[in-house]
Chains A and B, each alone.
Chain A
Amino acid sequence: MMNEIIVPSSPCPVIIGAGPAGINAAITLAEQGIESIIVDENPAPGGAIFRQPTKKISLGFSPVIDNKSRQRATRLLENLERYKDKITVYNRAQVLGGLSEGDSIIVLHNNRVTELHYSALFICTGCYERSHPFPGWTLPGVMGVGGMQLQVKSNLVRPGHRVVITGTGPLLLLAAKQFHDAGMEVVGVYEAGQKMDLYREIPALLADIPLLFDGIKYLSYLKKQGIPVHYGWGIVGVRGVSEVSEITVAPYDKDWQPLLNKQEVINADSLAVNYGFTSRTQLTQQLGCAHSYYHDRGGFKPDVDKWHRTSCEKIYAAGDVAGIYGSYVAEVEGKISAYGHLVDLGQINDKEANLLCASLRNNLKRLIKFQHGFSKLSSPKEGLLSLPDKNTVICRCENVTLDKIDNAIATGIGDVTKLKMATRAGMGDCQGKSCGDFCRNYLAKQTQRSQQQIGKLNARFPLAPVTFAAFAAGEK
């Protein structure tokens, strides 16, 4: 690992994010002889999907990354290793954002700030779990499904003994298997979507038989282990003194409004919850790329053309940041964006690029069709917005409760930036990563306005915390 960022004598392509999209972009460039730099905030490359254990201690259970994922990870990282003379990876390096008029980003690495100029910028920052507030959601023991997976597979920590899984999408099934493998008791999986919605999409799911087969495999595994999967059920709230002790679930109607007269209370010490993901667009926003809103695919995402060029010159976006379709799609998009850059450099022409990408694009079509199979099942519905009560904390950073947001809306506030100014929701360190989606959707619902009218919270420099001293130390 490099201790200090070495600024190349002339700018090269810089790739933000060492997940499937970023690594594939770098490898595709390297295959054409182009050197690049990858900047990633994690201790090792692979992204959230291929996160490896960060410590070598045994807790009596094996890391639960499945065989197929392990093979994919190994292949990806071996490929990266093969091109190590062309690809420089900086781990534990955070992008603070873009400043100045020039084509550069500011990177924090080993408590030093470096301005890194780029010839092209590939933003492959992926996505994060969307928070949906409900009573008790800030209690210790409540985690995102993905967050709990990372605890298990990366930190080798078992976050609880009795876990309830609520949310939507195929991730819940995989997580149930992983948690069970790690020795946790999985009380049940509560999928918000209706089973019928899944059945209706079987034609779409047939687009990728191996992936469909994976799903069936997880389902039959859970059945064999006696872990029930309840369709059309979801979270109502959580109670506990200093940590989770009671989890209330209920059947959801078609708008995901819980039917409280049928609610059930489960005794458990942990809750994994995931009602979808949000594209990690702070950097594309901060750099001024144009964005549009997609309800089913992670909210606002940067507009990209078929070569994954954003509206900003020299800036590409690939993978979940440009629409959430998962790691298989991210791999392909990473490659396509690199070919797009080769076209822009004039190294290949459009025709050659189309030929090189023909099979990639076919693959992409199939994968996206498969992902759309879950659209009806998993598209977040308005009922979730009714879960928090007036005392539920919505913005954790600034401790803003729902009644403060309601009061502000009552004064006629109609966009999310003014809501932030009035309540401080979204003004904290996380810049609204946690509460921004809820605030936007809630404001849209209460004021009957469109997402474009509500707007989004502007991401500001720095996108990650940096001390005054580290920032000033970059002084020349």
Chain B
Amino acid sequence: MEKNNSDIIIAGGGVIGMAIAYYLSKESDRSITVIDQKKPGNASWASAGGLWPIGESVGLGCGVIFFKTLSKQRRENPNEIIETARPHQLPDCFLNYSLISNAMFPSLWDELKEHSGIDFKFEKTGLKFLMYDDDDVAYAKQIQDGIPHLKDQLLWQDQQQLHEDEPYVSRDAIGSLSFKPDHQVNPYLLVQALRDGAQRNGVKMVENAEIIDITMQKNRVTGVKTKQQKYNCSLLINAAGAWAAQLADMIGIDLPVAPIKGQVIVSERLPPIMKSCISTSDCYIAQKDNGEVLIGSTTEIKGFDTNGTYPELRSLVSGAIKALPMLGSVGIKRTWVGLRPGSPDELPIFGEVAGVEGYMNACGHFRTGIVSSPITGRIVTDLVMGKQPPIDITPFLYERFLDPSFKASFSLETEVA
């Protein structure tokens, strides 16, 4: 086997791995190698590209759709105990973390356009939650009351205002609650721009290579093995997305990260039909820079299964027509499945693990890997350089799972029908 030495190996070339590679290579002169294996369901390639720090924190996007699934399940099986009965608003530390990350996008966009020439299509859209009935209004009020400090970032619109803004939205919608700072990007171009930037800074990419083992000396990571080669390093960063637990397991770390399946539909290209991104209790809808309208997404625990299913896709399609009736005559171009790297409290996992040297987590980003990629790059860079990260990362450390009082908001074990 040929020997390859570098100071740092990043396992995973998705948005998280590439953001770390980019930010770290900007500030550190240590040699960095990213090892990536394309797998069905890679989340960065399946993502809708929504930057919805508030929306995701208050349980919109996939959150509200999942909430509805659970509510329905509860109605159908009243005897079964399903803990997540109300939309789970994520803790303030998460909202803060994702808002800071979101605010990093405009400068990252300019920086990468200049550095690599790749425009990842940052668009200021806002996110609208559509309300069809009193239940939805109550739900929106609950969201609003939950974040009083962000009141000036919200906009409540009645039916008429909504339709002036979004003429294609169904007349059945009686109003909307908008989240002003929630925007979107093209996720593939974001990964590509970060990757290109990282490579220009000297980062080495090893593609189509699956890590099959981690080599250790006592309790210190010394490198990784792929099927083809051996790579030495003094620090291994786990950015392996939905596969992060498999990687950690090679050195005996029980990492609670599991694939959470999401199905997505994209339409043929259309002229602009919506100004903002839309979230309803059935689906979210975003029109991308190329005119395609993207509809997501389910939240299913089905292991690494990436098969589309008829009832789930049909339900997303019906939800999309309900919000934008003109979609009825539009063609469905493609459907696909992504595997989110889910963690039990829906928070990412950062930092070292006690008892193991030369290993660092940067995983478990669940639904929000795209929006939180810049701050992840920042946090990991600071940790590696021995600096103070911009936020307190205590709530995001692996150690939280070892605390007996740890409470999961999301069971990775339960099968969601």
Chain A interface size, under 10 / 10 to 19 / 20 to 34 / 35 or more: 35 or more
Q: Cβ of B308: which chain A residues have Cβ within 8 Å of it? A: 97, 99, 461
Complex contact B335–A467 (CB within 8 A): no
Interface flag for B48 (CB, 8 Å): no
Interface residues of B in 1-57 (CB under 8 A from A): 38, 40, 45
CB proximity of B269 to chain A, nearest CB, Å: 9
Find out whether the CB atom of B199 lies under 8 angstroms from the CB atom of A465: no
A112 near B: Cβ within 8 Å? no
**Contact between chains at A101 and B328 (CB < 8 Å):** no
Q: What distance in Å separates the Cβ of A455 from its nearest Cβ neighbour in chain B? A: 8
Cross-chain contact A468 with B310 (CB below 8 angstroms): no
For B324, the closest partner residue in chain A by CB is: A468
Interface centre among B268, B290, B328 (most CB of A within 10 A): B328
| Contact indicator A472/B268 (Cβ below 8 Å) | no
Q: Which of B286-321 contact A (CB under 8 A)?
A: 290, 307-311, 313-314, 317-318, 320-321
Partner of B321, one of A417, A418, A469: A469
Q: Are A460 and B205 in contact (CB under 8 A)?
A: no
Cβ B334 vs Cβ A460 within 8 A: yes
A416-454 residues at the B interface, CB under 8 angstroms: 417-418, 421-422, 424, 429, 431, 453
Inside 8 A of A413's CB, which chain B residues have their CB? 207
A412 at the interface (CB under 8 A from B): yes
CA distance A101 to B415 in the complex (A): 15
Complex contact B38–A467 (CB within 8 A): no
Q: For the complex, what is the distance from the CA of A106 to the CA of B332, rounded to whole Å?
A: 14
Assess whether A414 is in contact with B314, with CB atoms less than 8 Å apart: no
Task: Indicate if the CB atoms of A469 and B45 lie closer than 8 Å.
Answer: no
Contacts of A460 in B (CB 8 A): 334-336
Q: How far is the CA of A13 from the CA of B233 in the complex (A)?
A: 56
Which residues on the A side are within 8 Å of B195 (C-beta)? 411
Asked if B328 and A467 sit within 8 Å, CB to CB, the answer is yes
B191 contact set on A, CB distance < 8 A:
421
Cβ-based interface call for A115 (8 A): yes
Asked if B192 and A422 make an inter-chain contact with CB atoms under 8 angstroms apart, the answer reads: yes
Q: Is A472 in contact with B318, judged by CB distance below 8 angstroms?
A: yes
Q: Does A466 contact B (CB under 8 A)?
A: yes
- Most chain B C-beta atoms within 10 Å of own C-beta, residue among A288, A412, A455, A472: A472
CA distance A414 to B307 in the complex (A): 25
Contact pattern, A 96-131, Cβ under 8 Å of B = 1, otherwise 0: 010111001010000000010000000000000000
A471 touches B317 (CB 8 A): yes
B268 touches A429 (CB 8 A): yes
Task: Decide yes or no whether A333 CB sits under 8 A from chain B.
Answer: no
Determine whether the beta carbon of A421 is less than 8 Å from that of B192: yes
The one of B208, B314, B331 in contact with A472, judged by C-beta atoms closer than 8 angstroms, is: B314
**Beta-carbon contact of A415 and B208 below 8 Å:** yes
Q: How far is the CA of A225 from the CA of B290 in the complex (A)?
A: 52
A residues within 8 A CB of B336? Answer: 460
Is the Cβ of A462 less than 8 Å from the Cβ of B332? Answer: yes
- Interface 1/0 per residue, B327-358 and A, CB below 8 Å: 11111111110000000000000000000000
- Number of interchain pairs (Cβ within 8 Å): 94
**Are A417 and B38 within 8 A (Cβ)?**
yes
A475-B192 contact, Cβ under 8 Å, with A99-B309, A466-B331: no
Complexed CA–CA distance, A70 and B3 (Å):
65
A468 to B268, CA, bound (A): 11
Known: A100-B309, A411-B195. A465 touches B314 (CB 8 A): no
Contact A101:B309 (CB < 8 A) given known A429-B268, A472-B318: yes
Q: Which residues of A contact B310 (CB under 8 A)?
A: 99-100, 104, 106, 115, 474
Closest chain A CB from B46 CB (angstroms): 11
Contact A99 B318 (CB under 8 A): no
A468 touches B327 (CB 8 A): yes
Please tell me if the beta carbons of B314 and A101 are within 8 angstroms of each other in the complex. no
Given A411-B199, A472-B314: A100 and B307 interface contact (C-beta under 8 Å) = yes
What are the residues of chain A within 8 A of B334 when measuring CB–CB? 431, 460-462
CB neighbours (8 Å) of A104 from chain B are 310
Q: Mark A399-419, 1 if CB is under 8 A from B, else 0.
A: 000000000000111110110
**B331–A467 CB distance below 8 A:** yes
Q: Which of A453, A462, A469 contacts B208 (CB 8 A)?
A: A453
Min Cβ gap A174→B in Å is 36
CB contacts (< 8 Å) of B182 on chain A: these are none
Q: Which residues of A have CB within 8 Å of B320?
A: 468
Does A391 reach chain B (CB closer than 8 Å)?
no
The reply on B97 being an interface residue by CB < 8 A is no
- Of all chain A residues, which has the CB nearest B40? A458
List 25 A-B pairs, Cβ < 8 Å.
A97-B308, A99-B308, A99-B310, A99-B313, A106-B310, A411-B199, A412-B199, A412-B205, A414-B208, A417-B45, A418-B207, A453-B208, A455-B38, A460-B334, A461-B308, A462-B332, A465-B268, A465-B331, A467-B332, A468-B267, A468-B329, A469-B329, A474-B310, A474-B314, A475-B314
State the 3 A-B residue pairs at the shortest beta-carbon distance, nearest first: A469-B328, A99-B310, A421-B188
Please list the residues of chain A having a beta carbon within 8 angstroms of any beta carbon in chain B: 97, 99-101, 104, 106, 115, 288, 411-415, 417-418, 421-422, 424, 429, 431, 453, 455, 458, 460-462, 465-469, 471-472, 474-475
